[in-house]
Amino acid sequence: MLDFSQIKAVISDMDGVLWLGDTPLPGLHPFFEHVQSRGIPYALATNNSMKAPADYVHKLAGFGLNVPESAILNSGLVTMIYLRRHFPPGTGIHVFGGDGIRTLVRQAGFTLTDEGAAAVVVGLDYNLNYEKLKRAALLIRAGAQFVATNDDATIPIPEGLAPGGGSMVAALRTATGREPDATMGKPHPPLFEAAMEFLGSDPAHTLMIGDRMNTDIAGAVRYGLRTALVLSGVATREEALASETPPEAIFDDLGALVTAWQQAG
């Protein structure tokens, strides 16, 4: 049972929790009103590496919300933390992914390259083609580090579940015979570690809100966070109840979660 009185900070997923595609989900505005009015620090954490944090700020502004860029952590940003720890500025990095991750690589002081890369960063690419797959595979086979921003097999869109960044990772795993050297997104620790450092909280008093069992909830449980699943994205109630790592609470959507939190006092 989730005890809201113990919650001092919040980490929330975005896709499938705050919105679906370009459509805001129920509870979006009440959620921000609730945490901001109570002075509860929050971080918005997503495995999606297609966009830079500034892009999410712009998207939220389009919904009428003013969210600081510092509160947004995506797997791309956490990937930059990893790259800075392992490679000096100017190192050649190849990106198999979207423009958002390319922007972050440049801003982090690395050089984008298609030849002799020290690392291949892999994320969701809406413009995937064979040439891109071939180039990334050849670089990994030549010795480049294989760095996955996330391994989500799918992403929720209005039409259903579409291939996610994990599908790109799986293709390269098959093509190279190699597992990623590091994976940044949930359920792996790096994104949770970055969120906790930003929030200045401890896991026992931090709530993870997500819509996926195998990433949001499973990763949060392993990290010691409090957990709430919303059914507005990927997971079903049946899946959650049958899981070996069930959430502490299940809500139809973010709006239902906020209502329960407010009623708890």
Catalytic residues: 13, 15
Q: Write down the number of H helices and E strands in the chain.
A: 10, 15
Distance CA 233, CA 207 (A): 18
In order of 125, 141, 143, the CA distances from 180 in angstroms are: 17, 12, 12
Q: Which amino acid is at 130?
A: Y
- Given a contact cutoff of 8 angstroms between Cβ atoms, the answer to whether 48 and 155 are in contact is yes
**CA nearest to 152, candidates 84, 216, 248:** 216
Residue 19, strand partner residues? 15, 24
- Given a contact cutoff of 8 angstroms between Cβ atoms, the answer to whether 142 and 92 are in contact is no
